[in-house]
Structure formats: structure tokens, C-alpha cells
Amino acid sequence: MSVISKPVGPAGGLSFLDPRGDALPRPHGNTYWLWAGHVLAGEHPGKEGEALLPERLQLLAKMGITHFIDLTSSNDPLKPYQPLGGAVRINHPITDFGVPSTAQMQVILRSMDEALAQGGKVYVHCRAGIGRTGTVAATWLVNQGLNGQAALDLLLQKWQAVDKRLEEPHTPETEAQRQFVLAWETHRSS
């Protein structure tokens, strides 16, 4: 895992800080580009009901998503799904409103980095795409070289693209999740 001093993205391209990436097409209104064209974040593809799941999976496939990082746990009222087009679903369960252990976050981030290193496109999601997803997204930004507060600020900026931002104005969702991100700098070189 490499730490990048200027956040241009792990393999170059548009910087995480470049707002042009935020305007790229998205599969639906409750997703946002964490890293334009490479890392998408949002809600569970089946959150709006099982009837919409096939359509959402098709839209994500059209976006070229190759790896789904699923943060839902067995306590979430959602059924597991099978991505389309040979994409891989990797489940890293985190309890709703909770935070992972340091070791679990390292495994999650490694899954993302390995997918990207293979040229994949990643979709990170929990149930609603707010708390657990925001925690992983901001922590991933810290691993790319941002400090914790800068990562949270950038994530909030990207969150403004999401339809539900008025009902859910913050991501991550809880103070414990935000504190986890702020503390991650001490772990990022692990």
C-alpha cells in the first residue's frame, strides 16, 4: 500500500480534489464518485426493493463495476445478491452505525487497493450508503495521503451529489465513525 503525497489517485488521473470528477455519470442518484471513474460509493443495490435490484445491478455493470465491497451484515434486512458480468462481491460485514476493528479496516482497504491494482472499478456500499460506507470511503482517502479532517471534508463535498443529502446531511453518520477516520492516520502505513 503506497501513500501518495499529492492525492492524484492511486494510478494517476483526475485528482480526488478535482471537482470535474464529481460530474461523471452515476448509475443512480444515491451514489457518488469517491475517485472519478474508479471508486463509486453509495447504497445497497437492493435498498429500494427487490424489484429494482436487477435494474440497479445492470446499471452498475454498465458503469464497469468489477468489484462490489459490501459492508452489510446479517442484521441488515437485505438479501445477498450476485453481481452481473463476472463482477465479484466481497462481503466485509460491519454492524450498522458501527465501526470496524483496525484489522478489519486494513482488510477492507486491501480489497479495494487490490481490485484497483488489477484495473478494476470498485463500488463500496452498506445499506443506506451513509455511515459504514462513509467511514470506509474517508478512511480510504486518508490512506491516499489526506489527513483525517481533509478526508472528511472532501467526502462531505462529494456527498452533495447524492439525492438524499438533504434528509441525511452528514457522512459518516456517527461521531464514533468520524473519530475512527480522524484516528486512521496512525494506522495508514500499517
Residue 40 is among the residues annotated as catalytic for this protein: no
User: Which is the catalytic residue, given 87, 126, 137, 162?
Assistant: 126
**Which is it for the CA torsion 178, 7, 28, 67, positive or negative?**
negative
Closest CA to 185 of 157, 145, 135: 145
How many Cα atoms within 13 Å fall on the side-chain side of residue 5? 0
The cell numbers describing 141, all together, are 482517502
Strand pairing class (67-70; 31-35): unpaired
Cis status of the peptide bond prior to 77, with omega within 30 of 0: no
Catalytic residue positions, numbered:
126
